[in-house]
Amino acid sequence: MLTAKKDKRYRITPNPRLTRLKVLDATPQFIRCYVAGQMAAARRDPHMREVLGICDGDIPEDSFVKAFGRHLQKNLSEEDLNWLKDHSSSLPGKCAPEKWLQNLLVKHDFLRKIAELLSADEEDVLPIFNAVAQLDHHDILFELSSRLGRSVEELKNIVSLAISQTFPKEFEMIVAAVEKLLTQGKGTASTR
């Protein structure tokens, strides 16, 4: 799992819940290159577990393809490009995921689902979400955590569940990519 601390440093931690597929998460530009490198390593070594690179919506596909090619240290063949297509996806929206989330904070169905998952009254959380929606998008989860008295990890889980239940079509491509790789039977460990 890729997590951002308040000081904008990043760390990668294993998630034992997914055991057959390694999901790589590309957020800032330096992480995009890291993910492309991990994917290139998996492409070179057919004995590695399957990988799925998931880029933020604001990362142009061509820049990710170029980074992948640089790490493979060769011109990409049609077979390489097809492999990359099968092993990569992106988050919804054409912006940073935090900005995408910020836009969701004004949608009534989403706020109702969040309130339900928090076991709170919608009227109690609405002013908090309205205030947080006006902040810098990088601070949303930290501010929600502070104002709601919940951990950032707990809020990530609640927000993720609310998004998947309220906007399931937004993630169909990612779900399909994961299912396809898992049915190939090669994946063996870890996640983002």
Q: What average pLDDT is seen over the chain?
A: 79
User: Residue 29: pLDDT above 50?
Assistant: yes
Does the domain at residues 2-92+170-183 carry the CATH identifier 1.10.3210? no
Q: Can you give the pTM of this predicted structure?
A: 0.66
Give the residue among 65, 64, 91, 56 at the shortest CA–CA distance from 164. 91
pLDDT of residue 133: 84
pLDDT value for 18:
44
Q: Out of 70-84, 90-104, 142-156, 173-187, which region has the weakest mean confidence (pLDDT)? A: 173-187
pLDDT tens digit string along 131-156?
888 888 888 888 989 999 999 999 88
Describe the crossing of helices 108-117 and 152-166 by its angle, rounded to 10 degrees. 130
Annotated domain spans of the chain? 2-92+170-183, 97-166
